[in-house]
Amino acid sequence: MPNRHRGEIDAMLNGSRKTLVLTLGALAELEQAFGGEDMLSLASRFETGRIAAMDAVKIIGAGLRGAGHDCTDEDVARMTAEGGAAGFIAIVADLLSATFGGATQ
């Protein structure tokens, strides 16, 4: 069971429930991937709500790795989510909310 106070979420990927969390290391990975200078600029990047497919791959991949799953971004790019593309965006939004928006559930 995920602990939103630690920024954890659960998501259905490839038909199985997986925990994702953006740890400090995962956030550093995203800073590097998106060329941000700090976590605030990273959060600001996603406030617009505009997420490219490659953004989703990188965010979901970092979240999976942060939770201890052994996967690459290439593995994530081949995954399926309930609801298709909208499902991936929902996972990203939930993960970013749990990380930057505080624990609301």
Task: Specify the pLDDT at position 35.
Answer: 86
| pLDDT tens-digit map of 45-59 | 888 778 899 999 999
- In order of 35, 43, 44, 52, 71, the CA distances from 48 in angstroms are 17, 10, 8, 12, 28
Q: Which structure tokens are listed for 85?
A: 């593309």
Q: How many CB atoms lie within 10 A of CB 2?
A: 18
Task: Specify the pLDDT at position 104.
Answer: 43
- pTM, 2 dp: 0.90
Instruction: Please report which confidence band the pLDDT of residue 64 belongs to, taking 50, 70 and 90 as the band edges.
Output: very high
